[in-house]
Structure 1
Amino acid sequence: AVAMFAGDEDLRRTADGWLREGRLEKLGEWWVRGLDHDWAQLHRERTPRRVDVPLYPFAKERYWHDAPEEEPATLPSTQAHAHLHPLIHRNVSLIGMQAYRSRFDGGESFLADHRVRIGDSGVQRVLPGVASLEMARAAICLASGAALEQPVALSQLVWLAPFVVAAPRDAVVDVTMAEGGMLDIAIEDEEGVSLCRVSGQVVQALPPARLDLAHVARSMAEHVDASTLYGALTAMGLHYGPAHRAVTEVQHGDRQALATLHLPADLSLDERCLMHPSLLDGAVQVVAALMLADGPLPTQPPVPSALASVRVHAACGETVHVWMRAARGHAPEHGQWVVDIDLCDDDGLVSVELRGFVLRLLGAERADASRGVAESATPVPDATPEAVDDLMFYRQLIDAVANRDMSVDEALDLG
């Protein structure tokens, strides 16, 4: 019946009005009823090309246009607020599981300028181990519905494998409820390989402790300049570019060090990120001053292995002072250093406290650079039974901490 009026001028003007107003659904309804319409009016500026599509219902090909993948954010980034957090990009939660996913391509400052020599694989771009702390902290705030600047306490952290980024790849942060209001955090790669595990929760803000920086400095008579410090780190296989050279000055003495850090000039702070990777990694780099004082440097890089606890009070500013000292009762031995670290501002107000931070030489593990998976080292034929037993013992300790069968402190007492 509509076809009888297809040539009616009033109906044609009505159809043209629908087109101008964007009421295409209405126009389509009348077209399927028989209304003849000049569809070329839809494409006055550019005529689209035709695409062949199957004429039978069994073909499974898709003909939808796929939007290009979103570029990963760097820190800083012009697209920073396109993500939940500079290190936590998307919420991919399912029923019963909170989860977040991030995609890194290796061009980010914390990867491009943070490279580690991993055995025979050579120097690789590796996500700083301490970046896991900020990822876990942000995930806890997001999963709890708290503001991203809320104070957080973390405990019983263990690093299980390095995250090597030779090509774009994803990291996934899973959050599950634990006893006593705690949240368990598991950071994995896209294939489900565990990178890091930690527990934590949002905590009440407390008045920050204040360090007497002048008093701390008086007990340290030795000085190490930045070039010497980074030369030592390079010699051990830790290669830092400009974005990860935040340390400007170090004083040390009696198994402790006091350092000043400045955020590199090409970087900027993000209010959602309380522990900038460059500054937090710079705090850990100060261990090289203690190692220089102890004697000959090892040939393998020291990397994070475990951490008893972290308390994040506030955001780190562009200038940070770091007080590192050997943890009570733990002298450097067997390629292991256990330290306590405080980060504070110019007035000595502490923003981050790290207790029982364990660094081990990477030589005890063999890394698969293509996937970033750390595997147990295969004993060489001439290895002594005692060396093999030690290796298995430390692997069992790491597994026990990862499975929550033992605390980091208990593991340190044993090994």
Structure 2
Amino acid sequence: FESEGRRTSRLRVSHAFHSPLMEPILDVFGQLAATLTFDSPRIPIVSNVTGELASADELRSPEYWVRHARHAVRFADGVRYLEAKNVTTFLELGPDAVLTALAQDCVSAPTGPHEAIALLPTTRRDRSEERELLTGLAGAHLRGMSVDWSAYLRNTDARRVDLPTYAFQRSRYWQESFTNAGANRDVTGAGQTSLDHPLLRACVSTPDGTLVLTGRLSVDSASWIADHSVLGSVLLPGTGLVELALRAGEEVGCGVLEELTLQAPLVLPEKAAVQVQVSVGADEGATGTRSVSVHSRPENAADAEWTLHAEGVLGARMPVPAFDLGVWPPVGAVAVSVEGAYERLAGQGYGYGPVFQGLRAAWQRGEEIFAEVVLPEGAGADAERFGVHPALLDAAMHAAMVAEGGDDGATFLPFSWNGVVLFAAGASSVRVRIVRRGRDELVLEVADGSGAAVLSVGSLVAREVSAEQLSPGGGDSLLRVEWGVVAGSGAGVGSFRWWGEVAGGGVVGSDAVVFVCPDVSG
């Protein structure tokens, strides 16, 4: 290579690892490895042997480490695997930044502190170890990674101190987002009614009995939505569409969301906003039901078409709660570990940020799943303005996803809701009972900390989605066409009849093909 003018660097290693020169010692190495005890990993590990996620059984096998010493290092495959799983921050723990440099050629997206992918070393040759480690830690922190500051400061003189004893003036100098700034404007001058809701700002009724509620959504005005990323796309969760429908129902005295079918995901752009409209139809009369639908379109695009995201039916017949979760934890239920739950869900395409990581404990009893869910500190301030905070209700369903394991790696989103009833508003922590009906359907009962009913869902059906369905401009419909096989009478030729025979009362067999040819003259 040097004679060809290529840059080379001799590896400072004791043996020619990962090459045929290792084969003479593999048997002895395998015998030695078999004498060791291997524990299951506490964090997911992407194997340099396969370039994919390694199982616990694989890593506990002596044969695996024999292959590891002999086979090629599939570093590039491992990095690409992580990129495909929506990993965007890579932290190198090693004596230099060698792997960081190599990884730049392994990813498809741009790299850099403010780019799609960040590659962060923690040490560099001939530089201060402390400074480089802190620089890497700061880079990870700026990318949204959580830092255990107690562990970092453990061996220092740092200590917690009381806040100043004087009252803060609470003067804010940050520019409010346009939506929040507009929330305080009086919309009555435009012939509308103001709404005190985090997602909806105003409503207007029409002479035919229709009610339209309006709002504006963006990751700036409702920053918690940015914590709901699925397969790389930030979208309003299905629980958010339920919240919009329930709030609209409250305006017209309909406390039951009898059904809501999701037609297309509401994907939020990174640096823009969307206008939202929730339309409630006129009272149907004897049934007391009303139609409801949710549409959106890009802001500042008056000519853009409205996209239908959900449609359903509101009802006025409010039932009495039929459940109580006062006995807690549930008798006879077995605890389910939730440690590492959100890391595992990330592997299935669910990029849940801090606000959506509310699952605290889970239990299982047969087909029943129980859970404790809490809104993280700071997110609960707006909870009282929601019927049920969408992040809280979404996290309530995570227990079912964790309990079932999600071994197939498929990504599911709510598709249809039936029998949703809100009994109490403003909860920031809840107890949940889930009953699974098959692979795709759930029944939910949600209660507050005392066990009193908050919300119930008679049926929630989920559908598998792909990244293409959620990408801007992709096939965004959650509906799908399924062709069924119809049993026939076997191969053969059917009988034929003229249309005149049928019109004149002629008998037509079940295998007949009726046709007519136009009378073409000339």
Q: Counterpart of 2:276?
A: 171
C-alpha displacement of 1:314: 0.8
Contact preservation (8 Å) 1:256, 1:290: no
C-alpha displacement of 1:376: 7.2
Partners of 1:231 and 1:213 in 2: CA distance: 31
Indicate the percent of aligned positions where both proteins have the same amino acid.
Answer: 20
Partners of 1:173 and 1:110 in 2: CA distance: 21
After superposition, residues 101-180 of structure 1 pair within 5 angstroms as 101-107=214-220, 108-117=222-231, 123-142=232-251, 144=252, 152-166=255-269, 167-179=272-284, 180=287
C-alpha displacement of 1:112: 1.0
Q: Counterpart of 1:196?
A: 310
Whether 1:374 aligns to 2:487 is no
| Larger helix fraction of residues | 1
**Count of residue pairs brought into register by the alignment:** 290
Higher radius of gyration, 1 or 2: 2
Partners of 1:243 and 1:219 in 2: CA distance: 31
Secondary structure in 2 matching 1:274: coil
One-letter amino acid of the counterpart of residue 350, structure 1:
A
Q: Counterpart of 1:351?
A: 454
Q: Counterpart of 1:298?
A: 408
Whether 1:276 aligns to 2:276 is no
Secondary structure in 2 matching 1:88: coil
Residues 258, 197 of structure 1: alpha-carbon distance in 2 compared, 3 angstrom cutoff: same
Partners of 2:326 and 2:470 in 1: CA distance: 45
Aligned counterpart for 1:247 among listed residues 332, 356, 359: 359
CA RMSD of aligned residues (A): 3.2
Q: Counterpart of 2:483?
A: 389
Whether 1:229 aligns to 2:347 is no
Partners of 2:357 and 2:185 in 1: CA distance: 22
TM-score scaled by length of structure 1? 0.63
Whether 1:187 aligns to 2:294 is yes
Partners of 1:320 and 1:199 in 2: CA distance: 26
Aligned counterpart for 1:90 among listed residues 202, 205, 211: 202
TM-score scaled by length of structure 2? 0.50
Q: Counterpart of 1:20?
A: none
Contact preservation (8 Å) 1:80, 1:86: no
Secondary structure in 2 matching 1:286: helix
| Larger strand fraction of residues | 1
123-132 vs 260-269, which deviates more?
260-269
Secondary structure in 1 matching 2:461: strand
Gaps of 5+ in 1: 1-67, 118-122, 379-386, 392-415
C-alpha displacement of 1:349: 1.0
Q: Counterpart of 1:72?
A: 179
For 1:213-258, what per-residue CA distance to the aligned partner results, in whole angstroms no more than 9, with x for missing partners?
33x7233224222x42212221111111111111111112423211
Contact preservation (8 Å) 1:157, 1:309: no
Partners of 1:115 and 1:193 in 2: CA distance: 20
